[in-house]
Amino acid sequence: MRAAILSTGDELTTGRTLDTNAQFIADQLLALGYEVTAMMTVGDFPDRIESAWRTLFERAEIVVSTGGLGPTADDLTTETVARVIGRPLLRDEATAQRIRDLFESMGRKMPENNLKQAMFPEGAVILRNDLGTAPGFRFALETSAGVRHGVVMPGVPREMKHILAEEVLPWMRSLRDDASEWRSHTFQTFGISESALDEMVAGVLDPNTTRLAFRAAFPQISVRVTVHGAPAELDERLARAAAAIRERLGEFCYGEGDTTMEEEVGRLLTDAGATVAVAESCTGGLIGHRLTNVAGSSAYFRGGVVAYSNRVKNSALGVAIETLDRHGAVSPQVAEEMARGARAATGADYAIATTGIAGPGGGSADKPVGTVCIALESARATYSHRYQLWGNREWVKLLTSQIALDWVRRAVLGEDPTRSSVLRK
66-125 residues in contact with a second copy (CB under 8 A) are 70-74, 105-109, 111, 113-114
Q: Shortest approach of a second copy to residue 119 CB, angstroms?
A: 14
Q: How many residues bind a second copy (CB under 8 A)?
A: 114
Q: Which of residues 348-377 bind a second copy (CB under 8 A)?
A: 358-362
CB of 152 to a second copy, least distance (A): 18
Strand partners for 229:
181
Footprint on residues 215-234 left by a second copy (CB under 8 A): 215-217, 224
Q: Contacts with a second copy in 396-415 (CB under 8 A)?
A: 397
Residue selected from 8, 40, 124, 385 as contacting a second copy according to rule CB under 8 A: 40
Which helix (DSSP H) or strand (DSSP E) does residue 331 occupy?
none
Closest to a second copy by CB, 73 or 379? 73
Single-letter code of the amino acid located at 230:
A
> Residue 41: enclosing H or E segment and its boundaries?
strand 35-42
Task: Give the shortest CB-414-to-a second copy separation in angstroms.
Answer: 25
- How far apart are CB 123 and a second copy at their closest, in Å? 27
Angle in degrees, CA 364, 366, 367, rounded to 5: 65
With CB under 8 A as the contact rule, the residue among 304, 338, 354, 410 that binds a second copy is 304
DSSP letter for each residue of 166-188: IIIHHHHHHH-SSS-EEEEEEEE
Q: Are 189 and 264 in contact (CB under 8 A)?
A: no
Residue range at the interface with a second copy (CB under 8 A); choices 43-51, 87-95, 330-338, 378-386: 43-51
Residue in 285, 328, 332, 363 binding a second copy, rule: CB under 8 A:
285
297 CB-near residues (< 8 Å, 6+ apart): 266, 291
Contact 144, 138 (CB under 8 A): no
Q: Do 8 and 68 contact (CB within 8 A), yes or no?
A: yes
Near a second copy by CB under 8 A, which window of 37-45, 90-98, 121-129, 142-150?
37-45
Which one of 229, 284, 318, 328 is in contact with a second copy (CB under 8 A)? 284
Residue 99 Cβ vs a second copy, minimum distance, rounded to whole Å:
10
Q: Looking at 225, 305, 319, 353, which residue binds a second copy (CB under 8 A)?
A: 305
Binding-site string for a second copy from residue 139 to residue 178, where x marks contact by CB under 8 A and - marks none: -----------------x----------------------
Q: Is 36 helix (H, G, I), strand (E, B) or coil?
A: strand
Q: What region, left, alpha or beta, does residue 68 occupy, with left being phi > 0 and alpha being psi -120 to 50 degrees?
A: left
Does position 11 bind a second copy by CB under 8 A?
yes
Backbone angles phi, psi at 391, to 5 degrees: 95, -175
- Dihedral sign for Cα atoms in the order 118, 119, 124, 129: negative
Helices and strands (H and E) in the chain: how many: 15, 17
Interface stretch with a second copy, choices 241-249, 263-271, 340-348, 410-418 (CB under 8 A): 340-348
